[in-house]
Structures are given as structure tokens and as C-alpha cells.
């Protein structure tokens, strides 16, 4: 549902002090602008405009004008007031807010930044970086980038949004569903996923927001509390501090996707998880997403081809939800699970486990 919700990619991020985590041994989740066709009555020129359009129909404009205005606004504001390379502390606020244009610009800036990132994997068009923030802190963020030479940006955007299709291609998903909509480009949803054996499985509740910028797209999320979906006893509730995708068009039938994640997995995890995440799980998940994108047009033609509420918000049947009903999910309010001594299972170590070790995608037809 929300991003590349893959086992290890969710588990590599943390912000605990190195001294504390070295004792226990430590060591990934976003969603997606609204590119409306000219026939749609819903037009979103910016994130700020989208936040006020749920109950007030926006003016009709041509798709090209909408996209140009959105991109121009972002570039103009960026030039006038340079942003720091990382996202501003919007996701650290005490109140829940829908990200605005500045938040999207900051997220894009961090996706494109090079300083402070260490390359850990680069092969066949897929690269993975990890970041150490300070000397007294260890791995804290992961960034993955993949070149898609025969997948248009809009197709990749659809794949990341299509919750029914995710259930087909994402073998790590346990359960995923949308809960409610906040604006025409923001909603709240649930996602649970399988972690590398024998670690406990995780779940997350996130506020997801998306915005098109010219021919590019951004999808990002952060964790929130929903009164009807408290932590479950059979899963560890993780916290997405900042997670998302930047999809950049490089041609009519090609694009580049960057996945950026800062997630607190709520657990003192063994070091093999970190290594496996950056060297194996993250690249594998990206490649599996690519295969899903190639097969998506054919699959979609057989499964409600015209139903795309992420493009046509009037198609959405989700109930509306007020921001006041949500609160920010802080990691320190959740139970911390110590799994630092857990050894990797022999099955996963040899790559023979069904979900992780298999590239079978026959279910995508």
C-alpha cells in the first residue's frame, strides 16, 4: 500500500544513539501528486491548494496548465527561499498536518542530495545508499534508486497507488487497506508486512500525501495514531518518521524512482538485518517492483481499468476524516522489542524462503 514496504528496507532505519545500539546490536515505508486528466473536475495545482479542496470543488483547468503551474510554483519558491537538504521538522510536530509545498520540495531535495550518503550497492541500474548522521549515531536512513528504461513515470505512479495490485505483487504484505481520506491528495491507511525470519512482523498507520510536479511525482508518508486501529498484540507497531518516493520522468517510456525511508522499527535488531537490508532485500524489492510495473498495464485492463481514485478523487468511496481525529505517532510511546540476539534462520540465509527468496510473479496475470 504505502511504499516499497519490503522486509529489510523497513528495518534499517533508526535514530538511537550508537552507544545504546551497539550493546543490543541494531541494525523500511509512502504513498503518492494528483495528475488529473482534462476531463476531471478536480484540479490540484499545489499541495497547499489540495488541502482545501475536499469539500470545495476547484476550478477547471487544462492538465498541462495544472502541471506547469505546480512545477513553476515549486521552482519559484525554491529559488526564492533555499531549503536545507533534509525535510523540515513538519513530521516532528505535535499536531497532525497535511504536508504542504515546502515539505514536498524538501523531500525532493533530500532524495537528490549526495552529501552524507554512503553507497552500499550498485548493480544493474539499482543503487542503495545508507546515511550516518553523526559520529555517535549509526545507520539511520536508507535511499534506493532504480532506472526503469521501459516503464513510464505515470505507470510506476499507478502501481504504487493501486492497493489491489499491490496484494498481487508484494509478497511481503500481510494486510493493507485505506482507512479514510483527508483531502483530495492525502489519506490515512494501514499496512502490515513480513519481516526476515525469525523477527516479529511489523505494521504501521500512516498519513500519506502525494503531488505531481511537471512530469514527476512525489508520494510520502509519516506515522499517525488512529483511535480505531491501536497496536496489535501479534505485530510490532513501527514508526515511519519520513518515507516516500520521488518518480522522475526521463522520457515517454522511461523514468527513475528514488525511495527514501527513515523508519523506527521499534526494536533492537541484530546487525545482520542491516547488512541484509542494504545488500540484498532492498535491491531485490526494487527489482520486483520493476517487474510489477512491466506487467501492470495488462493486469489493469482486466481489473477495473478506469478505476483510479488517485487520479480521479471523485471515484473514491473512502469516508472523510478530520485531522483532529488523528495524532502523531511518537516512537517513545510504543513498546520496544529487543531482538538483538535473534539469529538469521537457515532458510532465509540460503535464500530458499518463499516470500523473500522467490521471484515468482505468476500471480500478476
- Residue 57 within a domain: no
- Residue 310 within a domain: yes
pLDDT of 3 above 90: no
Domain ranges, residue 304: 101-328
pLDDT of 121 above 80: yes
pLDDT at 268 (0 to 100): 62
Give dist(CA 261, CA 49) in Å, integer: 26
pLDDT in tens, 273-283: 666 677 788 88
- Residue 335 within a domain: no
- Residue 88 within a domain: no
pLDDT at 281 (0 to 100): 82
Query: Residue 322 sits in a domain of what CATH number?
Result: 3.30.530.20
Mean pLDDT of the chain: 74
Average pLDDT over residues 98-109: 93
pLDDT at 83 (0 to 100): 42
- Residue 139 within a domain: yes
- Residue 194 within a domain: yes
pLDDT of 318 above 90: yes
In this structure, are residues 71 and 213 in contact, taking their beta carbons and an 8 Å threshold?
yes
Helix (H) or strand (E) holding 301: helix 282-301
pLDDT at 241 (0 to 100): 86
Number of domains in the chain: 1
Q: Nearest to residue 34, comparing CAs of 78, 88, 70?
A: 70
Low-confidence winner among 192-196, 218-222, 249-253 (lowest mean pLDDT):
192-196
In this structure, are residues 266 and 15 in contact, taking their beta carbons and an 8 Å threshold?
no
Q: Nearest to residue 121, comparing CAs of 102, 98, 104, 146?
A: 146
pLDDT at 320 (0 to 100): 96
Percent of the chain past pLDDT 70, that is, above it, reads: 61
- Residue 319 within a domain: yes
Report residue 116's pLDDT band, with 50, 70 and 90 as the boundaries: confident
Higher pLDDT, 43 or 145: 145
pLDDT of 13 above 80: no
pLDDT at 350 (0 to 100): 47
Give dist(CA 38, CA 50) in Å, integer: 17
Report residue 258's pLDDT band, with 50, 70 and 90 as the boundaries: very high
- Give me 48's grid cell: 497547499
Higher pLDDT, 171 or 272: 171
pLDDT at 330 (0 to 100): 79
Distances in whole angstroms, Cα of residue 310 to Cα of each of 35, 178, 257, 318: 8, 12, 18, 12
pLDDT of 322 above 60: yes
Report residue 31's pLDDT band, with 50, 70 and 90 as the boundaries: very low
Average pLDDT over residues 94-109: 91
- Residue 132 within a domain: yes
Amino acid at each position: 500500500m504505502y511504499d516499497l514496504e519490503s522486509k529489510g528496507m523497513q528495518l534499517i532505519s533508526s535514530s538511537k544513539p550508537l552507544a545504546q545500539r551497539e550493546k543490543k546490536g541494531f541494525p523500511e515505508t509512502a504513498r503518492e501528486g494528483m495528475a488529473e486528466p482534462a476531463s476531471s473536475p478536480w484540479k490540484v495545482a499545489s499541495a497547499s491548494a489540495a488541502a482545501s479542496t475536499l469539500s470545495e470543488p476547484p476550478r477547471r483547468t487544462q492538465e498541462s496548465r495544472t502541471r506547469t503551474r505546480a512545477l513553476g510554483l515549486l521552482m519559484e519558491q525554491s529559488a526564492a527561499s533555499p531549503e536545507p537538504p533534509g525535510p523540515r521538522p513538519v513530521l516532528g510536530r505535535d499536531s497532525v498536518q497535511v504536508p504542504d509545498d515546502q515539505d514536498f520540495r524538501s523531500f525532493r531535495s533530500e532524495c537528490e542530495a549526495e552529501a552524507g550518503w554512503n553507497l552500499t550497492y550498485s548493480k544493474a541500474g539499482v543503487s542503495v545508499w545508507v546515511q550516518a548522521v553523526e559520529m555517535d549515531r549509526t545507520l539511520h536512513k536508507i535511499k534506493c534508486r532504480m532506472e526503469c528504461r521501459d516503464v513510464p513515470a505515470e505507470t510506476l505512479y499507478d502501481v504504487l497507488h493501486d492497493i489491489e495490485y499491490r496484494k498481487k505483487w508484494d509478497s511481503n504484505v500481510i494486510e493493507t487497506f485505506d482507512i479514510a481520506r483527508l483531502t483530495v491528495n492525502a489519506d490515512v491507511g494501514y499496512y502490515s508486512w513480513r519481516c526476515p525470519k525469525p523477527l516479529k512482523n511489523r505494521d504501521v498507520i500512516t498519513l500519506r500525501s502525494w503531488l505531481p510536479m511537471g512530469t514527476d511525482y512525489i508520494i510520502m508518508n509519516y506515522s499517525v495514531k488512529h483511535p480505531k486501529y491501536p497496536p496489535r498484540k501479534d505485530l510490532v507497531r513501527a514508526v515511519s518518521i519520513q518515507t516516500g518516493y520521488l518518480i522522475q520522468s526521463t522520457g515517454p517510456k522511461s523514468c527513475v524512482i528514488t525511495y527514501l525511508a527513515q523508519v523506527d522499527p521499534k526494536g533492537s535488531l541484530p546487525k545482520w538485518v542491516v547488512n541484509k537490508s542494504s545488500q540484498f532485500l532492498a535491491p531485490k524489492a526494487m527489482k520486483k517492483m520493476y517487474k510489477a510495473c512491466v506487467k501492470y498495464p495488462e493486469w489493469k485492463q482486466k481489473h477495473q481499468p478506469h478505476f483510479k481514485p488517485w487520479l480521479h478523487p471523485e471515484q473514491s468511496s473512502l469516508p472523510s476524516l478530520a485531522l483532529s481525529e488523528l495524532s502523531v505517532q511518537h516512537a517513545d510511546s510504543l513498546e520496544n522489542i529487543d531482538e538483538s540476539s535473534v539469529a538469521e534462520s537457515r532458510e532465509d540465509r540460503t535464500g530458499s524462503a518463499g516470500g523473500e527468496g522467490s521471484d515468482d510473479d505468476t500471480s500478476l496475470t
